[in-house]
């Protein structure tokens, strides 16, 4: 057997290439949009791609599955419950895909999403038992996948995680994420074992009620451009450019520079609507980062844009995305709304915002801020 884990440091996702050295048949699980890395492996190893499997319809990165299917004539597989606008091979719980001596067994593990599956890898010449499981966004290292995306259900997630944890201790766990917004408590290691997670994953020790309450308590913000990415993966939109694929430098300003921003500057609050309504910089408009690509026409290209979130991380990534799509007069606020509040500056609540007089852009520059379009 050949097995390769491929980590995407930009979005915190993992994909996998599994192949039989006997038949030279291969499967790729949860491929990213950057398919050249798989092409090189297939060519170097003389593997023929037979299956492309998405464990679910992804919402945080654009899948490369359909491109790989088209380029190689491989079967594109999803769980039978997947709601997409293109044909695929529907998989059922317990079904096995053969690749030479290998068997890929489908384990239906919904919860994060309705159609989520895990994939057990079995090499019968070595053992009749599975040696690995690819868990997608179900069981993670030190955590489990969040259940608040479309079709997710925390109680169903409990049943799926329990099912996974009944596998033998030695089964190696390879999840679909090693960092990012999918789970709050991920360890950052790229793999683990069933036995280790059963003993040390804090969620594995909870009963159903506590498990559900923990997962539904203060869930993380939705990922950057989730709306456009999910629609693309369902086949109802075609916006692969919604993926953040670059790492441009962003001009970061402090809250004093934000307060003395030029009058034409737009303050773009990229937090979730409930965060925005509980208190935001006066005059800021709200476009959650999850909807940014879908509402890009609401972001002006002829004015400076200042992105802000709660602490500065989301706004930085949102600013990078805006620069990527050609809106380069962008800055991000260091410390975000939290820093604004700590400085006892005024906040607005609800959905209304009031424009207040501001100094000119030249005065703002002299105060220490540098608009990105002038750097």
Cα(88)–Cα(85) distance, integer angstroms:
9
Cα(229)–Cα(77) distance, integer angstroms:
19
C-beta separation of 33 from 12 below 8 A: no
Q: Choose, from 11, 13, 77, 309, the residue flagged as catalytic.
A: 309
Listed residue (169, 94, 171) closest to 131, CA to CA? 171
Question: CB 136: neighbour CB atoms within 10 A?
Answer: 30
Cα(272)–Cα(265) distance, integer angstroms:
21
Tokens representing residue 81 in the block = 């419950």
Cα(63)–Cα(148) distance, integer angstroms:
20
Q: Say if residue 189 is exposed, middle or buried (CB neighbours under 10 Å; 0-12, 13-18, 19+).
A: middle
Question: CB 295: neighbour CB atoms within 10 A?
Answer: 12
C-beta separation of 333 from 259 below 8 A: no
**Does 187 participate in catalysis according to the annotation?**
no
Which residues belong to the active site?
Answer: 309
């Amino acid at each position: 057997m050949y097995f390769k884990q491929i980590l995407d440091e930009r979005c915190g996702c993992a994909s996998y290439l599994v192949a039989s050295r006997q038949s030279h048949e291969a499967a790729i699980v949860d491929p990213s949009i950057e398919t050249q890395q798989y092409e090189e492996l297939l060519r170097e190893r003389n593997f023929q791609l037979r299956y492309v499997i998405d464990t679910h319809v992804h919402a945080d990165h654009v899948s490369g599955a359909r491109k790989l299917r088209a380029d190689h004539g491989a079967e594109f597989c999803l769980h039978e419950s997947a709601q997409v606008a293109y044909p695929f091979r529907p998989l059922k719980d317990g079904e096995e895909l053969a690749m030479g001596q290998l068997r890929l067994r489908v384990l239906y593990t919904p919860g994060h999403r309705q159609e989520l599956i895990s994939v057990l890898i079995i090499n019968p010449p070595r053992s009749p038992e599975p040696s690995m499981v690819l868990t997608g966004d179900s069981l993670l290292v030190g955590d489990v996948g969040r259940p608040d995306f479309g079709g997710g259900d925390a109680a169903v997630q409990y049943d799926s995680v329990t099912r996974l944890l009944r596998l033998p201790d030695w089964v190696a766990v390879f999840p679909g994420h090693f960092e990012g917004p999918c789970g709050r408590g991920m360890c950052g290691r790229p793999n683990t074992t069933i036995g280790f997670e059963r003993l040390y994953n804090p969620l594995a020790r909870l009963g159903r009620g506590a498990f559900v309450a923990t997962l539904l308590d203060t869930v993380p913000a939705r990922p950057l451009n989730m709306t456009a990415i999910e629609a693309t993966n369902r086949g109802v939109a075609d916006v692969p450019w919604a993926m953040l694929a670059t790492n441009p430098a962003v001009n970061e300003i402090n809250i004093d520079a934000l307060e003395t921003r030029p009058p034409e500057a737009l303050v773009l609050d990229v937090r979730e609507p409930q965060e925005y309504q509980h208190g935001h910089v006066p005059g800021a408009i709200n476009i959650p980062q999850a909807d940014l690509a879908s509402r890009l026409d609401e972001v002006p290209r002829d004015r400076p844009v200042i992105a802000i979130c709660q602490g500065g991380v989301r706004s930085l990534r949102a600013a990078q995305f805006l620069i990527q799509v050609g809106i380069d007069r962008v800055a991000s606020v260091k410390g975000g709304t939290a820093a604004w509040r700590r400085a006892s500056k005024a906040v607005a609540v609800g959905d209304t915002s009031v424009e207040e007089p501001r100094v000119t852009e030249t005065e703002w520059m002299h105060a220490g801020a540098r608009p990105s379009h002038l750097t």
